[in-house]
Amino acid sequence: MAENLKTQDIIKAENLVYSKTPVLTDNVMHYCPGCGHGTAHRLIAEVIEEMDIQADTIGIAPVGCSVLMYNYLDIDMQQAAHGRAPAIATAVKRLMPAKYVFTYQGDGDLAAIGTAETIHACNRGENIAIFFVNNGIYGMTGGQMAPTTLPNMKSSTSPYGRDVELMGNPLKITELVAQLPGTWYVTRQAVHTPSAVRKAKKAVRRAFENQKLKKGLSLIEIVSNCNSGWKMSPVQANAWMEENMLPFYPLGDIKLEGNLLAKE
Amino acid sequence: MKEYVLMKGNEAIAEAAILAGADAYFGYPITPQSEVLEYLMAEKPHERTGMVVLQAESEVAAINMVYGGAGCGRKVFTSSSSPGISLKQEGLSYIAGAELPCLVVNVVRAGPGLGTIQTAQSDYFQSVKGGGHGDYRLIVLAPASVQEMADFVGLGFDLAFKYRNPAMILTDGALGQMMEKVMFSEQQPRMTEFPEWATTGKSPGRERNIITSLDLDSAQQEKFNLKLQAKYRKMEEEEVRYELIDCQDAEYLLVAYGTSARICQKSVQLAREKGIKVGLLRPITLFPFPKKPLKDMAPNLKGILSVEMSAGQMVEDVLLAVNGRVRVEHFGRMGGMIPSPDEITGALENIFIKGTDHG
Amino acid sequence: MANAKGSIVVDREKCKGCEVCILACPTGVIQLTREVNAKGYHFAYMVNPDACTGCSNCAIVCPDGVITVYRKKRPPVEKSVQ
């Protein structure tokens, strides 16, 4: 047998198959180990590189853990007040219709304080992309209950679990905005396994491509983990997410090319 | 050929913005300023100049659209009235913190709360002291005629871009609804080049541009705050605007802005007919406030009456300006009531001359 | 046997030791070191480099983008000479 390939023979420029996109800066991300934000950022950056639209993309960062997203993506960005990113993106897109504009928001930002901005940007059919990272919790402020916190799920403001009688039900805002005529593409993805990442990247790419069509808004939910907030190791958190989050927030396309997909 | 047209104050603001080459307006209906949005929608400025006009889902959304547009280096503005301006305070704080230029028009109505739709000047504190959270200031312009409503749109944009700071036209329901003759300036072209800090897309030759008000490093945040304060001091040195009426020989001074200043002009006449030497100082910029002229005039005066349609807000800045050099009192009406010229002259007499009213 | 052989390079100072790559690797190449980096994290390394096929699964799930992947086709296996 010719086990003649040594590591030093393989690690050569001509054999490079995967490296960090230059659209990501070299700054070390502040996220906790295993946090899906980093992967979600990277997919957006990779798509921007592949489409060669670095000079034509403006991102809107939210409030929350990803408030410092602009430290990691080497593109022009604006940082929004909590929940207001879709309003900001609306103005950016309307003033510069040829640019690619996206918001990046967490579940507290998008589905609680920013519900009005989210729904109305969707309903107006703004030709922007919204990347919505749902980890079922307010991460940055210390693991409080979010609109997306599952029934009976513990958080720092539902320490005995979310009692829906008292605290209301989790909000499936992605299914909700899919009903609006202004949304063109609505999908739910994840980034915790290689196959999920590959699918999520296709969705991200589609969200950017759609902006050329001028048919409406693309919303990509990414169900993600918050291992610090959930008080688990990263690997445990991903397993917990599969067992608990994904049955409630099933992955897959919800609306394609303006058409709601029938439930299987 | 330029000619006068008869127009409401609110409409004059809208027309002046189109002519100033504004890039966008984002608004939300509220009485008594809805004519700004109505005029713009009817006038189709997107066909005249390419200007964007959008009715937002709320005042909160509208001010954040202003943030977004201003972040792209564009000339953008919004308008509202008091309760709506309260909702915009979050956005204004972020805009000031991100050092973005924009114009906000407040056609003030009486409060607190829903108050009434009638005119008032009770948003002075909210406008000149910042309004939202944090140490910041707006450039505040106070028109007293429909002509000035129009003129201050261009001036507001110019100052906003000069200082990278939000500017506010602080007017009131009476001026917004009032019809007067107004002459507009020529159509200015919209900008074709944008400030180097604007998020217009990171071209290969430059660093990425980031619009944010966040700096988690306290030392840096303090440094940034000091930079803002230096900017506000520069405004105080360079941008104070005011008008003096009959002040040369004045023993008493009325200080009033906007609608109150119009009424006070008549009060000055009435008082002088009675032999009382009264003048009027009309602040045109409320921030920066004309502190120096007041301080300089104070030693020659027997009394200053600050006249506002409020419980007495600007009077605090008058007091600070004269710093005890002369007696300062307030006269005002509230709740949408407009004082008559006689009432003001009477108050001046009662407080300072007859001593029957202690202000 | 795979017709290509791979190798990864981990930016050890940026790795946070989350172990997501370990689960993502189909051939059990990766483990965490016993030693720690400057931030105190055990970091990913190839415990079993010969098994790496260069599939990139580890790199695409890495939240911090610290893994670079190389892949080289194996030279044709020489027929053994009797």
Written as six digits, the tokens of C61 are: 């799930």
The model's confidence at residue C79, banded by pLDDT at 50, 70 and 90, is: low
Contact partners of B by the rule of 3+ C-beta pairs under 8 A?
A
CATH of domain B242-353: 3.40.50.920
CA atoms within 13 A on the CB side of B92: 34
CB contact under 8 A, C19 and A31: no
- CB-closest option in A5, A29, A32 to C74: A5
SS3 content of chain B, % helix, strand, coil (to 5): 40, 20, 40
Would the pLDDT of C80 be above 70? Answer: no
> How do strand C67-73 and strand C4-10 relate by DSSP bridges?
antiparallel
The model's confidence at residue C1, banded by pLDDT at 50, 70 and 90, is: low
Q: Which residue has the tokens 């709506």?
A: B84
User: What is the enclosing helix (H) or strand (E) of A190?
Assistant: strand A183-190
* C71, closest residue in chain A (CA to CA): A15
What Å distances lie between residue A98 and A104, B200, B208, B313, C4, CA to CA?
Answer: 19, 11, 18, 47, 43
Domain B5-191+228-236 has CATH 3.55.40.20: no
- CB-closest option in A5, A24, A193 to C5: A5
What Å distances lie between residue A130 and A89, A208, B79, CA to CA?
Answer: 9, 10, 28
What Å distances lie between residue B123 and A249, B126, B259, CA to CA?
Answer: 47, 5, 14
Would the pLDDT of B138 be above 70? Answer: yes
Would the pLDDT of C76 be above 90? Answer: no
Tens digits of residue pLDDT in A23-63: 999 999 999 999 999 999 999 999 999 999 999 999 999 99
3-state secondary structure (DSSP) of residue B300: helix
Which residues of B are less than 8 Å from A78 in CB distance? Answer: 67-68, 71, 98, 199, 210-212
Would the pLDDT of B237 be above 80? Answer: yes
Q: Output b/e per residue, B297-317; b: 16+ Cβ within 10 A.
A: bbeebebbbbbbbbebbbbbb
Interface test with B, best of A58, A104, A122 (most B CBs within 10 A): A58
**With left for phi above 0 and alpha for psi between -120 and 50, is residue B73 left, alpha or beta?**
left
Would the pLDDT of B127 be above 50? Answer: yes
CB contact under 8 A, A39 and C23: no
Measured between alpha carbons, how far is A222 from A36 in angstroms, rounded to an integer?
9
* B216, closest residue in chain A (CA to CA): A68
Would the pLDDT of A1 be above 50? Answer: no
Neighbours of B203 (CB within 10 A): 10
What Å distances lie between residue C45 and A9, A15, B339, C28, C72, CA to CA?
Answer: 18, 19, 81, 11, 19
Would the pLDDT of B268 be above 60? Answer: yes
> How do strand A137-138 and strand A144-145 relate by DSSP bridges?
antiparallel
Written as six digits, the tokens of B48 are: 């005249």
Which residues of C are less than 8 Å from A17 in CB distance? Answer: 6, 54, 56, 69-71
Measured between alpha carbons, how far is A18 from C39 in angstroms, rounded to an integer?
25
The model's confidence at residue A7, banded by pLDDT at 50, 70 and 90, is: confident
CA distance B217 to chain A (A): 13
Measured between alpha carbons, how far is A103 from A112 in angstroms, rounded to an integer?
16
Written as six digits, the tokens of B100 are: 């973005």
CB contact under 8 A, A10 and C7: yes
User: What is the enclosing helix (H) or strand (E) of A130?
Assistant: strand A129-134
Cβ of residue A167 closer than 8 Å to a chain B Cβ = no
Q: Output b/e per residue, B231-266; b: 16+ Cβ within 10 A.
A: bbeebbeebbbbeebbbeebebbbbbbbbbbbbbbe
Tens digits of residue pLDDT in A169-210: 999 999 999 999 999 999 999 999 999 999 999 999 999 999
Measured between alpha carbons, how far is B294 from B297 in angstroms, rounded to an integer?
5
Neighbours of A183 (CB within 10 A): 26
Radius of gyration in angstroms for the set of CA atoms belonging to chain A, rounded to a whole number = 19
3-state secondary structure (DSSP) of residue A185: strand
User: Is the previous residue joined to B339 through a cis bond, with omega within 30 degrees of 0?
Assistant: no
Class of domain A29-153+165-259 as given by CATH:
alpha beta
Written as six digits, the tokens of B97 are: 């913190």
Calculate the average pLDDT of chain B.
97
Mean pLDDT of A155-163: 96
The ipTM, to two decimals, is: 0.96
Would the pLDDT of A101 be above 70? Answer: yes
CA distance A201 to chain C (A): 10
Which residues of C are less than 8 Å from A21 in CB distance? Answer: 65
CA distance A18 to chain C (A): 5
| More confident position, C80 or B186 | B186
pLDDT value, residue A2: 46
Domain range summary for chain A, segments of one domain joined by +: 29-153+165-259
* C10, closest residue in chain A (CA to CA): A19
Please list, in sequence order, all residues whose beta carbon lies within 8 angstroms of the beta carbon of residue B68, skipping any fewer than 6 positions away.
Answer: A60, A78, A87, A88, A89, A90, A91, A92, A95
Tens digits of residue pLDDT in B159-184: 999 999 999 999 999 999 999 999 99
Domain range summary for chain B, segments of one domain joined by +: 5-191+228-236, 242-353
Measured between alpha carbons, how far is B38 from B41 in angstroms, rounded to an integer?
5
The reply to whether B242-353 shares the fold of B5-191+228-236 is yes
The model's confidence at residue C74, banded by pLDDT at 50, 70 and 90, is: confident
| Distance in Å from the first CA to the final CA of chain A | 50
* C53, closest residue in chain A (CA to CA): A10
Mean pLDDT of A81-104: 98
pLDDT value, residue B128: 98
